[in-house]
Amino acid sequence: MIAVVTGASKGIGKATVIKLKDLGYTVVAISRSLPEIGDEKIQADVSNKEDVFKTVNYLISKYGFIDVLVNNAGFGVYGSFLETDLNEEEYMIRTNLLGPIYFMKAVLPYMVKERRGSIVNIISEAAYVSSPKLLVYSATKAALAHITNGLWAEMRKYGVKVSGIYPGPVKTNFTSHPSFKGAKDSFSRFAVEPEKVANAVVKAIKTGKREIYVPSKLALDPYFLKLSYIMQSITYRFAGKYFS
């Protein structure tokens, strides 16, 4: 089986590549800098629509089908809305939101035709709680969450699984962006290992569960996320039945 993982050079993406390889998948690792691991390593910018469709067309011609797509590529810019650079924020929107949309648009027609396949989007707790000094990042994740949830409802009748993973802070290079200077300790205090997120990806592939949360080490985190999941589940179960 063929799995494609974006943002595969470090952190969650790298941990996911390792996990899926251990499970027997042929893993295509994609990132802006050439990945170190993967059965096939591709250097591509997910924010570039032409790059994405060219890559997917190449993979389909080579392997015939993509069984799993993990949209993980993304980054954040930290700072007040008045301080952050607009050009960086525009690039963040293209990477965090348009990149997954491009990949899903490219891959889904094949999955629908075969009536199988799994899409897993790495989102964030920030999708539900807009974090101060991470406003545009939070907005990209909120938008991706809405697309993922709606797509979960649309794809059920085709047998295609669509899931969103919602981690809190994770021990990755997320805070390596210069804008996080002075804020790294706040994130690292409650951060979990990227392998926990990779395990959630595997669970999503197996179950097709709409939302899977990976709580931080903050004591109240799991309870707030559980309540959010219950309310969302009721809404999307109804929407899935009504609009399908």
Q: What was the pLDDT predicted at 212? A: 95
Q: How far apart are CA 50 and CA 7, in angstroms?
A: 17
Q: What was the pLDDT predicted at 243? A: 47
The angle subtended at Cα 14 by Cα 75 and Cα 76, nearest 5°, is 5
For residue range 153-191, list pLDDT tens digits in order.
Answer: 999 999 999 999 999 887 766 555 555 555 545 555 667
Q: Which of 25, 137, 166, 213 is catalytic?
A: 137
Between 4-8, 28-32, 107-111, 132-136, the lowest mean confidence (pLDDT) is in: 132-136
Six-digit token pair at 127? 């999708």
Under a CB-based contact definition with an 8 Å cutoff, are residues 38 and 8 in contact? Answer: yes
The percentage of residues in the chain with a pLDDT greater than 90, rounded to a whole number, is 73
Q: Do the strands 40-43 and 211-214 form a parallel or antiparallel pair, or are they unpaired? A: unpaired
Between 81-95, 118-132, 199-213, the lowest mean confidence (pLDDT) is in: 118-132
Phi, psi of 171 (to 5 degrees): -75, 85
- Across the beta sheet with 2-6, the strand order is 40-43, 26-31, 2-6, 68-71, 118-122, 161-167, 211-214
Structural domains for the chain: 2-243 (3.40.50.720)
**pLDDT category of residue 220 using cuts at 50, 70 and 90:** very low
Q: What was the pLDDT predicted at 190? A: 62
DSSP symbols for 154-187: HHGGGT-EEEEEEE-SBSSSGGGSGGGTTTHHHH
Six-digit token pair at 22? 């251990």
- pLDDT higher for 91 or 133? 91
Phi, psi of 76 (to 5 degrees): -125, 155
Cα–Cα distances (Å) from 195 to 45, 176, 201, in that order, read 24, 19, 10
Between 14-18, 76-80, 161-165, the lowest mean confidence (pLDDT) is in: 76-80
Phi, psi of 166 (to 5 degrees): -120, 85
Q: Which of 178, 28, 50 is nearest to 106 (CA)?
A: 50
Q: What was the pLDDT predicted at 182? A: 53
DSSP symbols for 126-161: GGTS--TT-HHHHHHHHHHHHHHHHHHHHHGGGT-E
Average of per-residue pLDDT across 225-230: 57
Residue 137 among the catalytic residues: yes
Phi, psi of 124 (to 5 degrees): 175, 155
Is pLDDT of 123 > 70?
yes
Q: Say how many C-beta atoms besides its own lie within 10 A of residue 151's C-beta.
A: 19
**pLDDT category of residue 78 using cuts at 50, 70 and 90:** confident
The percentage of residues in the chain with a pLDDT greater than 70, rounded to a whole number, is 80
For residue range 55-68, list pLDDT tens digits in order.
Answer: 999 999 999 999 99
**pLDDT category of residue 85 using cuts at 50, 70 and 90:** very high
Q: How far apart are CA 27 and CA 29, in angstroms?
A: 6
Whether the full predicted model's pTM is greater than 0.75, yes or no, is yes
Between 3-17, 47-61, 219-233, the lowest mean confidence (pLDDT) is in: 219-233
